[in-house]
Amino acid sequence: MKILIFFVFIFVFYLPIQKKHVNSQQQGIDSEEGDAATFFNKSYSEHQSSLELKIFRGYNPKTRPVKNISQPIVVDVHWHIIHVSINQLEQTMTVHGHIYMITAVITVLSFYIISIPLSIYMLIMNTYVQMIFFNDFTKKLPLTLSKTPPSVTLFHTLVLSNGAMIFVQALLLTFQHHRLVVPLPLQKIYIVKEYMPTMFKEEAVVKKEESTSNWGDWVKTARPLFGLVLLIFYVIVFVLFAFIGI
């Protein structure tokens, strides 16, 4: 008799309750008794708890890392925030998303000649300025008034040098479209052909007659020389920036 009563209780009360509970779990927030906030918070909290256990396994709050001043580490982090969850009971807010780390700095070393537009030159100049200026902000804060960091000094020098370069290029671009006679002292610029690389020794470019006729032809002849000067300038800037620790 007791066994019969037990089976009746199982089939009449216990199994229907379990079936309803299983259906509710399978359907999630779409079930009849499903509450979206409760279901999401419960499942997400369980997932986060297991994830935190894996991430912080072996973590000891009493052990603090020691900063090595002689070997600074600069890390750029880009946050992609998906959502924010707030826990009223614990008075905490958790930001959920992805972290992207930038581990490389792109350096640009360009060789400019007169025919390249000034807009491109300005773009690369600004790239150099940003690298030097932001390098100082990331590595050498706080800035002091008693001693100017080397990168700031180089920044000032670079701005002045770039201003002079732009002025010279603007003059040469202007003269290139004029047919005025070149002054006698500048007519001897053609002598650079003796020291120019073979790739620049083209008869149509380095003829003495063309270099002495007008500004347009003179600029064509002197272009490799100015290109060489600009190349040396950018090599010096690159060496200062890369090897002196600015």
The predicted structure's pLDDT at residue 171? 74
The predicted structure's pLDDT at residue 84? 78
Angle, vertex CA 85, rays to CA 25 and CA 58, nearest 5: 85
Q: Are the beta carbons of 211 and 189 closer than 8 angstroms?
A: yes
| CA dist., res. 102 & res. 80, Å (int) | 14
> How large is the angle between the packed helices 118-139 and 150-175, nearest 10 degrees?
180
Q: What share of the chain is helix, strand, coil (3-state, %, to 5)?
A: 60, 10, 30
The predicted structure's pLDDT at residue 115? 44
User: In 3D, which of 231, 225, 77, 244 has the Cα closest to residue 154?
Assistant: 244
Q: Are the beta carbons of 122 and 159 closer than 8 angstroms?
A: no
Paired tokens of 136: 């100082």
Torsion angles phi and psi, residue 241, rounded to 5: -70, -35
Q: What is the mean pLDDT of each run of 10 residues along the chain (246 residues)?
A: 52 49 46 52 63 67 61 59 76 70 38 45 57 56 53 67 73 70 60 52 50 62 68 72 55
Domain map (residue ranges) of the chain: 118-243
The predicted structure's pLDDT at residue 244? 53
> How large is the angle between the packed helices 215-243 and 150-175, nearest 10 degrees?
170
The predicted structure's pLDDT at residue 233? 73
Residues across the chain: 246
The predicted structure's pLDDT at residue 37? 54
- pTM for the whole thing? 0.29
The predicted structure's pLDDT at residue 11? 46
